[in-house]
Structure 1
């Protein structure tokens, strides 16, 4: 698989910084988190950053390798799966990420603070799985 190492490093850096900040927020007690609108807004922002970075990584790989053009964000992950870059059992989690990203971006006022906290508690490992699956299938990424 082809990709621009510098571009990938830049996106991965933003991605991993976002994950780190989400981990810090996940360490808070639920009451402290939901009571502070700044913490909730920060979590929403960093979730968008991480999901957008994941999509950017995939779109970069898709473009560099001349794979079919995605129809939407979920299709970006579908294409990666079709080409063996994500396991089939991981794809539903990726599709859920794009759905949540769309809610955060287009209906942010309608995203419950407790739901955001729940995602921080239950779904952060998915962000690591995404990178681990890519590194397992694109060995050169191990050097990034």
Structure 2
């Protein structure tokens, strides 16, 4: 059985990091590309946000004895297979895991244009992840 405190804590982190990123969206792309400090803040916040999603998925997968396990993408996949995440949200969150890996491990140079675009166009997927997990969690407690 999932630990409610862990679920609530991780969902709170997802919400906080998403809100932080929303507050960092005020710059034009040109300003963003010229501001290395903001780039680093955005990248680190994305890494923390995505890791919180992975940690939550891992907790649920483990507590509910879902399969598969192993990689971070597999943790997200397990939630999709169990019907906790919609197919669309699962796919976007798996993409987010790959994005986090690029940011964390610096595979080649980080494309700051892509990071800017993700900041402005893809935050809604983290909200959907949060909503879908919270809905499932609420049903478990009923």
| Equivalent residue, structure 2, for 1:32 | 31
Deviations 1:37-73 (A, max 9, x none): 0100000000000000000111111111122351211
* 8 Å Cα contact 1:25/1:43 also seen in 2: yes
CA distance in 2, matches of 1:36, 1:94: 27
Runs of 4 or more off by more than 3 Å in structure 1?
none
SS at match of 1:110: coil
Structural mapping, 1:124-139, within 5 Å: 124-139=123-138
Aligned length: 141
Alignment partners' CA distance in 2, 1:29 and 1:50 = 23
In the alignment, structure 2 segments of 5+ residues that lack a partner are: none
Is 1:44 matched with 2:43?
Answer: yes
Aligned residue in 2 for 1:66: 65
What pairs with 1:85-96 in structure 2 (closer than 5 Å)? 85-96=84-95
TM-score, with normalisation over the residues of structure 2?
Answer: 0.90
Q: Structure 1: which 5+ residue stretches go unaligned?
A: none
**What CA deviation, in whole Å up to 9, does each residue of 1:52-103 have, x standing for no partner?**
0000111111111122351211111111111111111222211110110110
| TM-score, normalization by structure 1 | 0.89
* Contact 2:68–2:77 (Cα < 8 Å) also in 1: no
